[in-house]
Structure 1
């Protein structure tokens, strides 16, 4: 339902540290209109130009806190991500992306924050892999975006 609004179109940027390109980032929004607690957020299925970037290469920046991996956000049981708040998803990839237009395939994995599903207890212990559709709450399908690399600076 909210798939068209999950990634800000002008947000794809390479990330530099000490003058070296260490990866790239995109601005993302939450698909759940109620928002979610960060502990329910499992990461993303991210594929750019046919290359998949697993959750272990992702960090997540929200609520003024520095980027955290999804093991850290699983512990943020009292921290909320409101629907209208933009977050920055950082992807570690030495060299980053080349200038130009890139095809991004994307799926957010956030466990449902209400109701009972038979999988709830298992998914809290062992979060499903993003991209499988399991645990994707309001984003059951992988969505494709065409994004142009923005070289005007970092987020």
Structure 2
């Protein structure tokens, strides 16, 4: 239902020095109709042109400082409210590649009353200047 709103391509940017980016970042929203504790986010898979980026390269920041996906597993005191953008940071030498690319995000969420994980995904075509 909310999948088409997960990725905000207008926020896509490289991180690190302008002449030698060390990664990229973009804002994303939760694909579930209620907020969730960060420990309930089981997966945040980021892909460029179908190539999934390593889990270790992904960081998440809902406004209280970046966490690795492993650190999120025990972040019991932090939440991602519905409708609030969070920053997804990716460590990737060279940053986001210039040109036309497809950026994808998959969220797998553990919801207490569902007997299966809630999975939401979004893919956007991006023309990135580099």
- Alignment TM class, shorter chain as reference: 0.7 to 0.9
Q: Which residue of 1 aligns with 2:124?
A: 145
Q: 1:53 offset after TM fit, Å?
A: 0.3
- Whether 2:7 is the aligned partner of 1:7: answer yes
Q: 1:34 offset after TM fit, Å?
A: 0.8
Aligned partner (choices 112, 115, 126) of residue 113 of structure 2: 115
Q: Is the 8 A contact 1:32 1:138 kept in 2?
A: no
Q: Is the 8 A contact 2:7 2:122 kept in 1?
A: no
* Bigger radius of gyration among the two: 1
Q: How many residues align?
A: 130
Gaps of 5+ in 1: 120-134
Q: Which residue of 2 aligns with 1:52?
A: 52
CA RMSD of aligned residues (A): 2.1
Gaps of 5+ in 2: none
| TM-score, normalising length: structure 2 | 0.86
Runs of 4 or more, structure 1, over 6 Å off, are none
- 1:4-83 alignment to 2 at 5 Å? 4-17=4-17, 20-62=20-62, 64-83=63-82
